């Protein structure tokens, strides 16, 4: 099983695209002049985590799917402080991603080669 299933491929690509767009949009806002907004650094790291999880899910690393779930769970928690619509969307994405990434076929995909 060398090729990812289509749902895993879609989720991984969505993470890569979302992370890249988030990183780009926040780096455009970056201003190194005082006062320096340290939140940009943390927000950029969160976007970078999405890219890393997407890339390494395509490379069949099991930890990457856990990072992906942690990433969307973090966004669910953040959504509690925003609109109900954001909370609903992030919660539905969490459920969908958890289903796609932890199905038995996905578990076989992420299992290390040679592991029964």
Which pLDDT score, from 0 to 100, does residue 41 have? Answer: 81
Which pLDDT score, from 0 to 100, does residue 46 have? Answer: 94
Euclidean distance between CA atoms 30 and 20, whole angstroms: 15
- Classify each residue of 82-96 as buried b or exposed e, where b means 16 or more C-beta atoms within 10 Å of its C-beta: eeeeebeebbeebee
Cα 84 to Cα 66, 81, 89, 91, 103: the distances in Å are 25, 9, 9, 10, 28
Q: Nearest 5°: CA angle at 50, between 94 and 6? A: 65
- Sequential pLDDT tens for the chain (116 residues): 556 689 999 999 999 999 999 999 888 876 666 666 777 888 889 999 999 999 999 999 999 999 999 999 999 999 999 999 999 999 999 999 999 999 999 999 998 665 55
Spans of all domains in the chain? 6-110
pTM (2 decimals)? 0.87
Which pLDDT score, from 0 to 100, does residue 111 have? Answer: 85
């Amino acid at each position: 099983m060398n090729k990812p299933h289509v749902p895993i491929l879609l989720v991984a690509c969505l993470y890569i695209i979302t992370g890249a767009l988030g990183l780009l949009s926040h780096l455009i806002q970056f201003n190194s002049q005082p006062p320096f907004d340290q939140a940009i650094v943390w927000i950029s790291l969160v976007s970078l985590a999405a890219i890393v999880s997407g890339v390494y899910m395509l490379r069949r690393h099991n930890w990457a799917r856990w990072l992906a779930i942690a990433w969307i769970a973090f966004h669910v928690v953040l959504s509690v402080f925003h609109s109900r619509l954001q909370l609903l969307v992030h919660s539905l994405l969490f459920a969908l991603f958890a289903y796609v990434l932890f199905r038995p076929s996905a578990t076989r995909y992420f299992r290390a080669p040679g592991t029964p």
